[in-house]
Structure 1
Amino acid sequence: MADREDGALLVQLAQWGSAMGIEEAQKAIWAESFDPDTASTDDVLVSRVLNWGETVGTLTKNGLLDTDLVLDWLWVSGLWSRVGPAAVKLREKQGVPELYENFEALATRQG
């Protein structure tokens, strides 16, 4: 069950996201012209969403942030649907299946 600490951390994540330009990145990945199938981690905006999502996923995986609270706040599965293909391509290229696994797991949990 979420508590005040979870709420405070969630606000800090929102602030960090804002400071790193997560709104700009989300706007880009939701644009009609954005193609998830051709997206690349070379695109700084795609990487920004992936890194932010992986941080949120890691915090929830390790019980440092309430998962239900996060899933109520963010459409994680929607974000992953847009940038996940770029993450999968990078995994295959680097031979590292763990890349962005916590973001993907959180998105899968949301359905």
Structure 2
Amino acid sequence: MASREDGMLLVQVAQWGSTMGLEEAQLAVWADDFDPEAASPDDVFVSRILSWGETIGTLTKNGLLDTDLVLDWLWVAGMWSRVGPAAVKLREKFGAPALYENFEALAGRQE
């Protein structure tokens, strides 16, 4: 069950997203002409969503933010479907399977 503290942290995460330009990034990746399979991890909008999603995934994984609250608030699986292919490219490039694993795991809980 989400607590008042979870709610306050969720608002802080939302504010951080706004500060980092998350709305602009989401508009870019939800655009009709955005191709998830061609998405590049070097794209600033893709990178913003990956960083934000990994942070939220890490907070929920470690019990610092209520998972059910986050999944009620965000379509994490949808965001991952748009930027996940770019994360996989980075994993392969650096041989680091842990890159963005918390974002992916959180998305998997929603699917």
Q: Normalising to structure 1: TM-score of the pair?
A: 0.99
Q: Paired residues, what number?
A: 111
Percent of matched pairs sharing the same residue: 79
Amino acid at match of 1:34: F
- 1:12 matched to which residue of 2? 12
Residue by residue, what CA displacement relative to the aligned partner does 1:22-66 show, whole Å, maximum 9, x if unpaired? Answer: 000000000001000000110000000000000000000000000
| Amino acid of the structure 1 residue aligned with 2:56 | V
- Counterpart of 1:105 in structure 2 is 105
- 2:82 is the counterpart of 1:49: no
Q: Cα RMSD (Å) of the superposition?
A: 0.3
Q: Over residues 61-108 of structure 1, what are the superposed CA-to-partner deviations in whole Å (9 max), with x where a residue is unaligned?
A: 000000000000000000000000000011001000000000000000
Q: Runs ≥4 in structure 1, deviation > 2 angstroms?
A: none
Q: Secondary structure at the match of 2:36?
A: coil
What is the DSSP-based 3-state SS (H/G/I as helix, E as strand, rest coil) of the residue aligned with 1:32?
coil
The amino acid of 1:60's aligned partner reads: T
TM-score of the aligned structures, taking structure 2 as reference length: 0.99
1:94 is matched with: 94
Unaligned 5+ runs, structure 2: none
* Gap runs ≥5 in structure 1: none
